[in-house]
Amino acid sequence: MKQSIDKLCKILKLEIERGFDNKAVVGGLDRILDTWEMEARLDEVPEEAIKAVSTRLQDYAGLSIASRAEALQGIWRRVQAEGVSEPFPTPTPFPDPESPPPVHGEVRKGTPLKRVEAEPVTSKASKPAEKPAPAPAPESKEPELEPAALNAPVTVLHNVGPKNAQNLGRLGLFTLRDMLYYFPRRYNDYSSLKAINRLSYGEEVTVIGTVQSVSKRTVRNGQRQIVEAVVSDGTGAMRITWFNQPWQAKRLRNGMQISLAGKVDQYLGRTVLNNPAFEEIDQQQLSTNRIVSVYPLTAQVTNRWLQRQMHQVVTHWAPRVPDPLPENLRRSANLVDLPTALIQIHFPDSQEQLKDARHRLAFDEVFLLQLGVLSQKYDWQEKSGRIFTSDQQDITALQNQLPFKLTSAQQRAVQEIRADLESGHPMNRLLQGDVGSGKTVVAAIAIAIVTGAGAQAALMAPTSILAEQHYRNLLKILASHPNQAESGVLQPSQIRLMIGATPESDKSAIREGLADGSIKLVIGTHALLEDPVAFQDLQLAIIDEQHRFGVQQRLILRSKGTNPHLLVMTATPIPRSLALTVYGDLDLTVMDELPAGRQPVGTYVLTPRERERAYQLIDRQIRDGRQAFIIYPLVEESEKSEALSAVEEHARLQREVFSQHKLGLLHGRLSPDDKEAAMRRFHQQQDQILVSTSVIEVGVDVPNATVMLIEGANHFGLAQLHQFRGRVGRGGDKSYCLLVPDSADQAENERLQVMAQTNDGFVLAEKDLEQRGPGEFLGTRQSGYTTELQLANLTDVHLIEKARHHAQALFKQDPDLALPEHQLLKAALQRFWDSHANDVS
Ligand code: ADP
Ligand code: MG
């Protein structure tokens, strides 16, 4: 099946499983469209099928559950023609975690897992057939290979037939390896065994006792079934109650020894347990009397049942998994070996050992990620790129044409780019600079160097508003030179804009001009990536606001030339740890300086009651000839209602508050033409206020705007608020950013105060990373990548630097992983990279 179709089906299945909550994809299903459409085109999925998918998903957020189901069914029917043989999956309700396991096979008796620690591999009570082979000797010279059996399907397990295999499949578990690497979501610590007379309210405990009595009754006119048991342990007796789990009565007999795990509750002054997990104590004590793993589940798979299958897999196979990390690395990084880590993460003997296991496995994730990124960088550096030398005189002449002097950060960036262009290898650089630091002009100089030598350049921006703005700026910088014969400067006709709204006739003229080389610079949106656009000699590809694009898009643009130089720019101040991990294949230039004369934007957090003051400030500024933005947040995560609130507020403000001024309106549901028009009116000062949703966020440059009022500010991350704030303070005038939270939550609003305290994007980014995790920085298109990392936390700078240090050392020693002792690692890297490659940088 085509990859894009397969990916779509996976997402649909997940969404169906989740009950159509529009959360199978972070930020909503419609977020996949941009990248998916392109992937589908690359897969040669018929245009009309792509259309069928995108029209249905576009409005998905605003649909009722029933209509969502219908929409997905419609998509499924359509893609069946593309080779999907499976019928539309039926949604199943989420089961009660304690409902009876789907398989009633006898659990094989074995040693309680407690023993694993003392006798890790040769547990005496194991059946001979299950007796694991000795753990691989770390000293062995021969490269150890992974047992092929790890790829065996889950059906080789006892109790797992086709039906259970299907259930496991819905968790993504197809092979034994999948299971070994399916880690618990959390743990309940029941390892503290307690006497009944010493229980206290609220504790998580395990109690062992004898069943004294069992009864079952029905209350509330038969609507509720209650199973009650009394259990005693010699120190006392307690009442145990299960609500609406009538089958529990069948599992209990008088005189039976059971261990119960749960949270101590109180009823009429006595300690009780409600709905505890329990087991007969001569069984393997997998779910009581220890730290209990809780796995992510799906319909028809209960935790207890899954634990048992895990137990089969882990006890038998974990000890046989050879460790891909060389012994010396493991020792110097102070890591437990892989078998131990795998056993302990599933069935921890103590919190301490669980921590070590998680650390080891998280290290592996980041380590493999870093190794992969390093080898990508290495591959890229091996390629040769065209040499573009630039004359300092020409550069100086170009700079002298600018209405300002470059900051020293900009000059440094220009020097680094010049060195890249002269290196004989393709440039692969990330230019990271806070909003307003002046990245565009740096890009312009790179363009001047490359096009001055007769080659072509392309600049891609995420929105047409931004592309158009770049087009205007670059025309000014590159084409208004009085002495047009001088190198690095183009004719206006050699610079073209290509966006979705460009008329087809212009588009085909641009295509022609790019193919025959008469156009030297094209600026556009992802319209540039559309297949028919071919360049005569593309030597420089620039991507602005990199976090809005996926890797795939970067690759496609790059593939329009032969090893062209690549410059990606971002205003998202990515904290260093994250940059090193995610953008580790790029060389990094940081512009940490704003042009002189910029005053910091005065930032204030206002209560809703103080809103009137904000309006007065805006009014005064407009009377002084300035302009203002008013931003409304995403409400209910639906773009429809987001637009609605901006639309309604726009009307209200125009009518009741600013009736003497002109208010423009911008939101995501406007057509590209209308968006452009709204921006243009604001740019040309026909409108004094622009009411907008978050679509305004990236890059827009209107130096005359001095007020940014953000409603519902608490809905945004600090990094994003900083982006908004960067829309003002771009001219020399004093500017204001006013944040109005719509929540009375003190802690939330305190978070916003950080905005008032600093104008430094990096400080805010670090704070955001702490508070909200890495999703914000990676952008929605890339957040899949973080969900793939099961254990590693990208905010853990210590872990990342440790992994990076070791990855670099290893890479230096054996960049191709050619040494025999690195063969396992090479295989692990291959596997890891296959499943992640699309998500990184
Ligand atoms: P960003 O880095 O956010 O993309 P831009 O390239 O849009 O920033 O630049 C922001 C504004 O600052 C533009 O109006 C630009 O003309 C201006 N600018 C850029 N460099 C300088 C400088 N060295 N001195 C003064 N103004 C500058
Ligand atoms: Mg910019």
Ligand nearest to the CA of 463: 2
Residue 721 tokens read as: 């608020």
How far from 461 is each of 261, 529, 625, CA to CA, in Å? 56, 11, 30
Per-residue pLDDT at 284:
55
Per-residue pLDDT at 222:
77
Measuring from atom 13 of ligand 1, which residue has the nearest CA?
A: 438
How far from 177 is each of 148, 204, 305, CA to CA, in Å? 10, 32, 18
Residue 63 has pLDDT above 90, yes or no: no
Residue 53 has pLDDT above 60, yes or no: yes
Cα–Cα dist 315/337, whole Å: 15
Per-residue pLDDT at 704:
92
In order, the DSSP letters of 177-218 are HHHHT---SEEEE---B--GGG--TT-EEEEEEEEEEEEEEE
Cα–Cα dist 476/402, whole Å: 9
Closest by alpha carbon to 535, among 555, 550, 557, 506? Answer: 557
Whether the CB of 725 sits within 6 Å of ligand 1: no
Per-residue pLDDT at 535:
95
Ligand nearest to the CA of 444: 1
Whether the CB of 701 sits within 6 Å of ligand 1: yes
Cα–Cα dist 527/500, whole Å: 6
pLDDT band at residue 90 using 50, 70 and 90 as cut-offs:
low
Cα–Cα dist 765/718, whole Å: 7
Per-residue pLDDT at 778:
53
Which tens digits make up the pLDDT trace of 328-366? 999 999 999 999 999 999 999 888 999 999 999 999 988
Per-residue pLDDT at 509:
95
Q: How many CB atoms lie within 10 A of CB 459?
A: 26
Pocket test residue of 465, 473, 701, 733 for ligand 1, highest count of atoms within 8 A of CB: 701
Distance of CA 810 from the midpoint of ligand 1 (Å): 41
Query: What is the identity of the amino acid at 21?
Result: D
Query: What average pLDDT does range 192-214 have in this prediction?
Result: 86
Q: How far is CA 308 from the centre of its chain?
A: 32
Query: What average pLDDT does range 535-545 have in this prediction?
Result: 94
> pLDDT higher for 193 or 90?
193
In this structure, the chain runs to a length of 841
Q: CB neighbours of 28 closer than 8 A, spacing ≥ 6?
A: 22, 60, 61, 637, 638, 639
Which tens digits make up the pLDDT trace of 443-486? 999 999 999 999 999 999 988 888 988 998 999 889 865 554 45
Query: What average pLDDT does range 628-637 have in this prediction?
Result: 76
Per-residue pLDDT at 470:
92
Q: Please, what is the Cα angle at 609 between 605 and 615, to 5 degrees?
A: 75
* Rounded-to-5 percentages of helix, strand, coil across the chain: 45, 15, 40
Which tens digits make up the pLDDT trace of 458-467? 999 988 888 9
**Three-state SS string across 638-680, please?**
CHHHHHHHHHHHHHHHHHHHCCCCCEEEECCCCCHHHHHHHHH
Per-residue pLDDT at 45:
83
Query: What average pLDDT does range 516-533 have in this prediction?
Result: 90
Residue 418 tokens read as: 């010049």
Ligand 1 atom with the shortest distance to the CA of 437:
2
Whether the CB of 402 sits within 6 Å of ligand 1: no
Per-residue pLDDT at 441:
95
Closest by alpha carbon to 58, among 50, 38, 14, 6? Answer: 50
Verdict on whether the full-model pTM lies above 0.85: no
Most confidently modeled range among 43-47, 562-566, 757-761: 562-566
Query: What average pLDDT does range 807-829 have in this prediction?
Result: 89
Q: How confident is the prediction for the chain on average, in pLDDT?
A: 81
Per-residue pLDDT at 206:
81
Task: Say which DSSP state 716 is in.
Answer: S
Cα–Cα dist 557/567, whole Å: 11
Q: Which residues pair with 777 in a beta bridge?
A: none
Q: CB neighbours of 427 closer than 8 A, spacing ≥ 6?
A: 385, 417, 420, 421, 565, 566, 567, 587
Whether the CB of 575 sits within 6 Å of ligand 1: no
> pLDDT higher for 56 or 569?
569
Residue that the structure tokens 């990184």 belong to: 840
Whether the CB of 296 sits within 6 Å of ligand 1: no
Distance of CA 701 from the midpoint of ligand 1 (Å): 9
Percent of the chain with pLDDT over 70: 83
> pLDDT higher for 795 or 510?
510
Q: Which of 114-118, 416-420, 715-719 shows the lowest per-residue confidence on average (mean pLDDT)?
A: 114-118
Cα–Cα dist 716/556, whole Å: 32
Measuring from atom 22 of ligand 1, which residue has the nearest CA?
A: 595
Cβ–Cβ under 8 Å, residues 620 and 580: no
Per-residue pLDDT at 144:
53
Pocket test residue of 548, 592, 730, 759 for ligand 1, highest count of atoms within 8 A of CB: 730
Cβ–Cβ under 8 Å, residues 709 and 715: no
User: In terms of C-beta distances under 8 Å and separation of at least 24 residues, what long-range contacts does 227-234 make, across chains too?
Assistant: 227/252, 231/196, 231/207, 231/258, 231/260, 232/196, 233/195, 233/196, 233/207, 233/208, 233/209, 234/195
Indicate the burial class of 826 (C-beta count within 10 angstroms; 0-12, 13-18, 19 or more). Answer: middle
Measuring from atom 5 of ligand 1, which residue has the nearest CA?
A: 438
> pLDDT higher for 814 or 554?
814
Cα–Cα dist 325/360, whole Å: 10
Which tens digits make up the pLDDT trace of 207-220? 888 999 999 988 87
Residue 109 has pLDDT above 80, yes or no: no
Per-residue pLDDT at 318:
92
Cα–Cα dist 256/452, whole Å: 88
Cα–Cα dist 762/776, whole Å: 13
Cα torsion 418, 419, 422, 427: sign: negative
Residue 783 has pLDDT above 80, yes or no: no
Query: What is the identity of the amino acid at 104?
Result: H
> pLDDT higher for 649 or 287?
649
> pLDDT higher for 324 or 43?
324
Whether the CB of 404 sits within 6 Å of ligand 1: yes
Distance of CA 439 from the midpoint of ligand 2 (Å): 6
Cα–Cα dist 411/405, whole Å: 10
Cα–Cα dist 379/368, whole Å: 16
Per-residue pLDDT at 599:
80
Q: CB neighbours of 718 closer than 8 A, spacing ≥ 6?
A: 751, 754, 755, 764, 765, 767, 768, 771
Distance of CA 451 from the midpoint of ligand 1 (Å): 22
Which tens digits make up the pLDDT trace of 246-302? 888 888 999 888 888 888 998 888 889 999 988 877 555 566 667 878 888 887 788
Indicate the burial class of 19 (C-beta count within 10 angstroms; 0-12, 13-18, 19 or more). Answer: middle
Q: How many CB atoms lie within 10 A of CB 309?
A: 21
Backbone angles phi, psi at 272, to 5 degrees: -140, 165
Residue 137 tokens read as: 């000797």
pLDDT band at residue 122 using 50, 70 and 90 as cut-offs:
very low
Q: Which residues pair with 763 in a beta bridge?
A: none
Task: Say which DSSP state 560 is in.
Answer: T
Q: CB neighbours of 51 closer than 8 A, spacing ≥ 6?
A: none
Residue that the structure tokens 């179709």 belong to: 5
Residue 312 has pLDDT above 60, yes or no: yes
Ligand nearest to the CA of 434: 1
Whether the CB of 731 sits within 6 Å of ligand 1: no
Which tens digits make up the pLDDT trace of 713-765? 888 888 888 889 988 887 778 999 999 988 777 777 788 898 999 888 878 87
> pLDDT higher for 572 or 412?
412
Query: What average pLDDT does range 593-611 have in this prediction?
Result: 87
